[in-house]
Chain A
């Protein structure tokens, strides 16, 4: 994987989608293409299906929060890899805080839907047409999205209500305990 080659792929994308590609950033031989979120599926589809690009492996999909001062605040980062050609590219779709949603890539990769659930859980970014958009790592009744920059590292003073529920149930199940000899 050489930096030059990826740069060429990025240039090709910029030609194919002149309105959608905002910026191409190179760093240490890796390239990030910043894409308008409205066209993200088209860009992903082209990268996946063109035989000489063949980015068949969605290595990673994650969210980022650039902080409240940054506009647009959120981003969804797609790391693509081609098992056939051994090159890698990264796309970043910008997601503003006031309309925190983007199209789901679940139709292109089944594995994407699973990553998107985590992204929704951690950042509150909604994925349109997602087959099953639920929290995945945090409990279902959790408030807030932990990886947002304004979410505190040390927890709030009050306990998660699910925990008191667990304690109550544990107390209740004690009546089924075998009598001690």
Chain B
């Protein structure tokens, strides 16, 4: 064997490593360039945009209702959350409010999407770190929720279930029963996941003290959602700026204190329980009544919900749908944000009075979090980069829009 080197003569050299965009642990098409010194990351530069589809530009050419399917494709693992966020923004722009029953139905669907999103996150995050079984467990429960979505509106992922001023259709009693059965069973299942990993030595070593970001830095970088709460900042839009039925249900906002991967994991696990609680309360208190506001603007074609198409109105609709010069929307600008599974999803809408938005800006949490990877990966080991990416729960559809 030839000697590989003589002691004392090694030269230190920085190595630049390209990770992604085609890498299974980047959850899509995220690319990072890592400047390495041995195994330590000196600098991490995120590159995004590989999934850019110009959703903000497309929205300017569509009617308000026509934008809805685009919002499905933002965070495609929790599409209801995006739909509701968009609907609320348009409702606030038009100054209308959904009826009580619709509010509760939207809250139920919203929390279902949070659970299914968190389950997918836990599954892939654990898989990235090497825990294979959790993946299968999580997908088992997620399947139940996706089946319920399918029963409600026919789609499993990109559901477009809410409507501006309400929801597409009512939930049948059988659906609510199935959902209630799910909520009774689910707390046990969360315990099952925790039994697998919560005290697992490998899991703890891979997550504790890794990817630390302080509360002050987290706010300065604009982090939101569980990624921010893991650092100990209590900021949850469901509680702080309540929308839909969130001001009528009891829930807690779990926070961490160290700001590492483990605390972010704990926050999301606790959120699964809280979401389950919210769904239970909503089913118990579900009021009777309309599911679409009577003053909802006729922006959707075909008309959905309980509204009937009046022949004279259809002409008016046609002019709305094609964005004529008729002033159909109030002029003004609005910023409306909701707490989606990943963090704060904000819609900034600017209306010039026509039937399509003059500007629609999507403030997506994943985009902000991708930028903050530079901060969280710095100084850690290269293997920890995987754990950090998993812990911010990034979805590239939402990041690149």
A4 touches B (CB below 8 Å):
no
Looking at chain B's contact residues, the main secondary structure is: mixed
The smallest C-beta distance from A72 to any residue of chain B, in angstroms, reads 15
Write out the residue numbers on chain B whose beta carbons fall within 8 Å of the beta carbon of A139. 49
Write out the residue numbers on chain A whose beta carbons fall within 8 Å of the beta carbon of B363. 59-60, 62, 79
Name the residue among A30, A110, A112 with the largest chain B CB count within 10 angstroms.
A110
- Is A59's CB under 8 angstroms from B337's CB? yes
The smallest C-beta distance from B265 to any residue of chain A, in angstroms, reads 22
- Is A32's CB under 8 angstroms from B333's CB? yes
Looking at chain A's contact residues, the main secondary structure is: mixed
A64 touches B (CB below 8 Å):
yes
**Which of A38-46, A83-91, A167-175 contacts its partner?**
A83-91
A157 touches B (CB below 8 Å):
no
Find the A residue at minimum CB distance from B45: A132
* A106-131 interface with B by 8 A CB criterion: 109-112, 114-115, 118, 122
A146 touches B (CB below 8 Å):
yes
B24 touches A (CB below 8 Å):
no
Find the A residue at minimum CB distance from B351: A27
- Is A1's CB under 8 angstroms from B219's CB? no
The smallest C-beta distance from A81 to any residue of chain B, in angstroms, reads 8
Q: Which of A79, A83, A111 contacts B372 (CB 8 A)?
A: A111
**Which of B52-60, B104-112, B142-150, B290-298 contacts its partner?**
B52-60
A16 touches B (CB below 8 Å):
no
B241 touches A (CB below 8 Å):
yes
- Is A111's CB under 8 angstroms from B220's CB? yes
A77 touches B (CB below 8 Å):
yes
**Which of B12-20, B154-162, B204-212, B342-350 contacts its partner?**
B342-350
The smallest C-beta distance from A95 to any residue of chain B, in angstroms, reads 14
* Docked CA distance A26–B221 (Å): 28
Write out the residue numbers on chain B whose beta carbons fall within 8 Å of the beta carbon of A135. 49
Find the A residue at minimum CB distance from B336: A30
- Is B361's CB under 8 angstroms from A86's CB? no
The smallest C-beta distance from B303 to any residue of chain A, in angstroms, reads 25
* A49-69 interface with B by 8 A CB criterion: 56-60, 62, 64-65
A97 touches B (CB below 8 Å):
no
A136 touches B (CB below 8 Å):
yes
- Is B52's CB under 8 angstroms from A60's CB? no
A8 touches B (CB below 8 Å):
no
* Docked CA distance A135–B400 (Å): 13
Q: A58 and B222 in contact (CB under 8 A), knowing A27-B332, A153-B57?
A: yes
Among all A-B residue pairs, the 4 with the closest Cβ atoms: A111-B222, A114-B371, A27-B332, A137-B49
Name B residues whose Cβ lies closer than 8 Å to a Cβ of A. 48-49, 52, 54, 56-58, 60-61, 92-93, 95, 217, 219-223, 233-235, 240-241, 332-335, 337, 344, 346, 348, 350, 359, 361, 363, 367-368, 371-372, 375, 400-401
Name A residues whose Cβ lies closer than 8 Å to a Cβ of B. 1, 27-28, 30, 32, 56-60, 62, 64-65, 77, 79, 83, 86, 88, 90, 109-112, 114-115, 118, 122, 135-139, 146-147, 151, 153
